[in-house]
Amino acid sequence: MPERTVAVASRSGLHARPAKIFVEAVARQEMAVRIRVGDGKPVPANSMLAVLSLGAKHGTEVTLDADGPGADEVLASLAELLARDLDVEEVADA
């Protein structure tokens, strides 16, 4: 099963708006994606409550995994999203 590890770049971590943006991006995928912190239990990445329960702060390394055709591309796209500071982008959008 392909995996991708990335540090959360958003200043507030995976909370509030950054988590919402991430969960919505996962929901648009045609495969199940899971996310975990360290050696913790993976949770469904399309669940806002599950993602928030990880408590991932700025700089926390999270690991994404998915299985199926195109999984590598999906994981690369989602990892790229998490590697951006979505808090700064929020200010720029305002």
The residues spanned by each domain of the chain are 3-89
pLDDT tens figures, 38-69: 999 999 999 999 999 999 999 999 999 999 99
State which CATH number among 3.30.930.10, 3.30.1340.10, 3.30.70.20, 3.40.50.2300 fits the domain covering 3-89: 3.30.1340.10
User: Which residues, including other chains, have CB under 8 Å from residue 64's CB and lie 6 or more apart?
Assistant: 3, 4, 5, 6, 33, 34, 35, 45, 75, 78, 79
- Rounded CA gap, 26 and 92, in Å? 23
- Annotated active-site positions, please? 15
1 confidence band (pLDDT: 50, 70, 90): confident
pTM of this prediction exceeds 0.95:
no
